[in-house]
Amino acid sequence: MNRFKISLKLVALLLIGFSSIATIETDHNKYFEISKNIEIFTNAYKEINTYYVDDLDPGKLMRIGLDAMLEHLDPFTNYISETEIEGFRYITDGKYNGIGAMILKIDDYVTITEPYDDCPAQKAGLKAGDIILAVDGKSAEGKSTDDVRAILKGFPGTEVQLKIRRPGETKDMDITLVRDEVIVPNVPYSGMVSDEVGYVALTTFTRNAGKNVGDAIKKLKADNPKMKGVIFDLRGNGGGLLTEAVNVSNVFIPKGEMVVTTKGKVADWDRSFKTLNKSIDEQVPLVVLIDKGSASASEIVSGVIQDLDRGVLIGQRSYGKGLVQNTRDVGYNSKVKMTTAKYYIPSGRCIQGVSYEDGEPIDIPDSLRTVFKTRSGRTVLDGGGVKPDILVTEHNDIPVIKDILRKHKIFEYATEYTLKHSQIDSVDLFKFEDFDDFVSFLQKKNFKYETKSEKALEKLGKIADKEGFAEVFKMDLKTIQNKIDEEKKNELYENKEAIISLIEKEIASRYYFQKGRIQIGLRNDQEIKEALEIFKDENRYRALLARQ
């Protein structure tokens, strides 16, 4: 018997030994492959840089190689060069050194789309719609948004010279800006949307997001003792710090609740995050607003609220980013931001989209998603984002509106509007009532958009021509096109209310900045209206959170 036990132990030790040897050999082979390929890459890089027919920029060449390598992973694994550190700092801290303005390339030049209130750009007199012709004496024509942004950022106290073309002005302007530390608030607005319902917007999960949301809720409660509900807006919030997702969740759920678990290849890095503090209010009825722009930390918070049946989610399915990124220093003040784990919310689900197209997650049908249960037993699904309890159609997905936004026509119209109006009423009173003027503006700008039906019709015409049926179908195709043209004319007026809402937000931002954009947007907001209806009907609110 003892010999049998000894034999078993010997067999076990031999198996462990063989397993260890196999592991060592596997690791050795892997490291040899890494070493070999690094040497091949280095040699190729050196030979190309030395003998290629034209002069090359070694840094640019290496950057192309790094980006190409990381491109084959997920969209969130990136190389961050020394010049891009300020942008990374903004993602984590909500501040950076620069001029304090949002910019976007429109046609051949980068344009100021929104100066931040009380920041260098606004203090120097820059306005939304200003076209950047040159930076520090060098032409900005054809430069990308990233190219210009990199130059505009810099140490506080340093100057940057811009040549600006302002619509409506006959002469270009030279403007000197003094860079400064720009702090962008992560809670740009909170207030009451009715006598009994409060509202808090969180735009990013930078440092102190949890504290700022908590402070906003405390103030709303103190100023409005009769408050019976809170709308928490995470629409367009692309995420940020994982720890702040826990802190924000903790505002509404008690101490000791599991919020998220991370699991990756390196087991030692797997972690679980629980709430650490007493909640601000775990009883007040809660509605969380999400859309396809709500990602990462936003999905953790909204998913936790749903999994714990703490509140009702309204809007559109979220982005679907269930991945955790960490940064690793790679020398010379550069970093690699890489995906190191997936996160799992209390029900056990991961909301990560499984595949991407052009950097965007591909929608996963519900039939292909795994079923999980909330605390009360409601059915929820994994993969492809968080699905709200109440789905609301997004106006921005309507073809005509989508094309108007893509071609920046509302932005351009607001620029013209501000030239004619030195001021507008307060946000509470302002109303845009000249929709026909906007339609005339579109006609003046030769705005046209092509529907999917028209694209299909054009394709049918080409096929008919190849097959010799062009004359047979000619009149029929023309009749269909005429009907489409007629419907397109009506489509603007059919979506008048939604387009006016977008125009009002853009115009308000020109006079009252980001706070004004948010405030005026609440007035015509379909999700806000839906939330207010739910708060009026306590039985419906409770039914949405009960086991189905």
In the set 279, 296, 302, 347, the catalytic residue is: 296
At residue 42 the predicted structure's pLDDT band, cuts being 50, 70 and 90, is confident
Residues 203 and 157 in one domain: no
Domain that holds residue 23: 2-56
In a domain, 6, yes or no: yes
The amino acid that residue 328 corresponds to is R
Nearest one of 106, 116, 90, 103 to 162, comparing CA atoms: 103
Q: Could you confirm whether 335 is annotated as catalytic?
A: no
On whether both 372 and 469 belong to a single domain, the answer is: no
Top pLDDT among 408 and 468 is at 408
Long-range contacts of 12-16 (CB under 8 A, 24+ apart): none
- Mean pLDDT over 493-518 rounds to 92
User: Does the annotation mark 263 as catalytic?
Assistant: no
Alpha carbon distances (Å) from 183 to 92, 96, 207, 214: 12, 7, 11, 19
CATH of the domain at 141: 2.30.42.10
For residue 459, tell me if it sits in a domain.
yes
**Is pLDDT above 50 for 494?**
yes
Q: Is residue 134 part of a domain?
A: yes
Q: Are residues 254 and 170 in the same domain?
A: no
Residues 142 and 132: their CA atoms lie apart, in Å, by 11
The phi-psi region of residue 240 (left if phi > 0; otherwise alpha if psi is between -120 and 50; otherwise beta) is left
* pLDDT above 70 for 86: no
Residue 223 to residues 218, 220, 278: CA-CA distances in angstroms? 9, 5, 21
d(CA 91, CA 303): 22
State how far the Cα of 338 lies from the Cα of 349, in Å rounded to an integer: 22
Whole-number Cα distances in Å, 516 to 253, 418, 429: 31, 15, 12
In a domain, 25, yes or no: yes
Q: Are residues 42 and 134 in the same domain?
A: no
Shared domain for 164 and 215, answered yes or no, is: no
Q: Would you tell me the crossing angle of helices 242-252 and 209-223 to the nearest 10 degrees?
A: 20
Report pLDDT digits (tens) over 330-363.
888 888 888 888 999 999 999 887 666 665 667 7
Domain membership flag for residue 541: no
pLDDT-derived band of residue 380, with 50, 70 and 90 as boundaries? very high
User: Alpha-carbon distance 402 to 393, whole Å?
Assistant: 13
- Give the pLDDT band of residue 63 (cuts 50, 70, 90): confident
Among candidate residues 163, 292, 321, 409, the one labeled active-site is 321
| Higher per-residue pLDDT: 327 or 198 | 198
Q: Is residue 10's pLDDT more than 50?
A: no
Residue 359: predicted pLDDT: 58
What percent of the chain has pLDDT above 70?
91
**Mean pLDDT across the chain:** 87
**Reported confidence tier of residue 372, pLDDT bands at 50, 70, 90:** very high
Q: What is the pLDDT of residues 27-41, one digit of tens each?
A: 667 778 888 888 888
- Contact yes or no for 308/253 (Cβ under 8 A): yes
Among 155, 183, 211, the domain boundary falls at 183
Report d(CA 487, CA 499) in Å as an integer: 17
Q: Is residue 163 predicted with pLDDT exceeding 80?
A: yes
**Do residues 406 and 466 both lie within one domain?**
yes
- Helix (H/G/I), strand (E/B), else coil: 437: helix
Asked whether the predicted pLDDT for residue 546 surpasses 50, the reply is yes
If asked whether residues 219 and 298 sit together in one domain, one would say yes
User: Residue 408: pLDDT above 80?
Assistant: yes
Measured CA to CA, the distance from residue 135 to residue 161 in angstroms comes to: 6
Task: Identify whether the C-beta of residue 527 lies closer than 8 Å to the C-beta of residue 289.
Answer: yes
Q: What is the pLDDT of residues 178-228, one digit of tens each?
A: 999 998 899 999 999 999 999 999 999 999 999 999 999 999 999 999 999
Q: Please, what is the angle between helix 409-420 and helix 435-444, to 10°?
A: 110
The answer to whether residue 546 is domain-embedded is no
* Greatest pairwise CA separation for the chain in angstroms: 103
Over residues 437-474, the pLDDT tens digits come to 999 999 899 888 777 777 777 787 778 777 777 777 77
* pLDDT at residue 276, as a whole number: 96
Categorize the per-residue pLDDT at 75 as very low, low, confident or very high, splitting at 50, 70 and 90: confident
Q: Virtual CA dihedral for 404, 407, 411, 412, nearest 10 degrees?
A: -110
DSSP 238: -
Q: Are residues 357 and 245 in the same domain?
A: yes
My answer on whether 338 and 438 are in the same domain is no
For residue 90, name the pLDDT band (cuts at 50, 70, 90).
low
State residue 415 phi and psi, 5-degree precision.
Answer: -65, -45
Cα separation of 278 and 276, whole Å?
7
Q: Looking at residue 184, what is its pLDDT? A: 87
Catalytic residue among 74, 130, 233, 307: 307
Domain end (from 153, 183, 213): 183
Question: How many residues in the chain?
Answer: 548
What is the structure's pLDDT at 92?
A: 64
pLDDT at 368: 80
Greater confidence (59 vs 372) lies with 372
Q: What is the pLDDT of residue 28?
A: 64
pLDDT band at 496 (very low <50, low <70, confident <90, very high): very high
Highest-confidence segment of 282-286, 367-371, 515-519: 282-286
With contact defined as beta carbons under 8 Å apart, do 137 and 119 qualify? no
Tell me, yes or no, whether 381 and 412 share the same domain: no
**What pLDDT does residue 4 have?**
46
Q: Are residues 202 and 274 in the same domain?
A: yes
The pLDDT of residue 291 is 94
Residue 1 has pLDDT above 50, yes or no: no
Residue 338 located in a structural domain: yes
Q: Is residue 307 flagged as an active site residue? A: yes
**One-letter-per-residue 3-state SS of 239-304:** CECHHHHHHHHHHHCCCCCEEEEEEECCHHHCEEEECCCCCCCCCCCEEEEECCCCCCHHHHHHHH
Which CATH number fits the domain that encloses residue 306?
A: 3.90.226.10
| Residue bearing the bigger pLDDT, 92 or 430 | 430
- Asked which of 183, 206, 232 is the last residue of a domain, the reply is 183
Identify the three-state secondary structure at position 203. Answer: coil
CA 123 to chain centre: 28
Q: Three-class SS of residue 344?
A: strand
Split at pLDDT 50, 70, 90, the class of 256 is very high
Total domains in the chain come to 4
What does the radius of gyration of the chain's CA atoms come to, in whole angstroms?
28
Query: What separation in angstroms does the CA of 61 have from each of 80, 303, 338?
Result: 15, 42, 21
Assess if residue 206 is contained within a domain: yes
Among 63-72, 101-110, 168-177, 293-302, the least confident range: 63-72
Is 6 in the same domain as 36?
A: yes
- For 70: left if phi > 0, alpha if psi spans -120 to 50, otherwise beta; the answer is alpha
Helical packing angle, 435-444 and 470-494, nearest 10°: 140
Query: Is pLDDT above 80 for 3?
Result: no
The residue type of 94 is G
Q: Is the backbone of residue 540 left (phi > 0), alpha (psi -120 to 50) or beta?
A: alpha
154 within 8 A of 97, measured Cβ to Cβ: yes
Q: How far apart are CA 408 and CA 424, in angstroms?
A: 22
Please state, in angstroms and as integers, the Cα–Cα distance from residue 401 to each residue in 441, 497, 498, 537, following that order: 15, 11, 8, 33
